[in-house]
Amino acid sequence: MDRLLRAAGRCALAFLLVLGVVALLPRAVRDAVPDALIGGAVVVVVWILGTRRMAGRPR
């Protein structure tokens, strides 16, 4: 259960990180970026964080 809560926390952190970066963009750029691209960026960030954590673990 602890691992599940940590994973959910990391997903939420990645989501907020991407939203923060998008909020810093100029308004014209924000309007030009589709919502699906933002969702895709969240998925990619979570995937990269997950692979980095799993790469260093011994089996």
Over residues 25-39, the pLDDT tens digits come to 888 888 888 878 877
User: Mean pLDDT throughout 48-58?
Assistant: 69
User: What Cα–Cα distance (Å) separates residue 38 from each residue in 1, 5, 11, 27?
Assistant: 29, 24, 14, 15
What are the residues whose beta carbons fall under 8 Å from the beta carbon of 17, sequence distance 6 or more? 45
C-alpha to C-alpha distance for 2 and 32, rounded to whole angstroms: 39
Which residues are within 8 A (CB) of 54 and not within 5 positions of it... i.e. 6 or more apart?
none
Question: pTM of the full predicted structure?
Answer: 0.55
Residue-range domain boundaries for the chain: 1-56
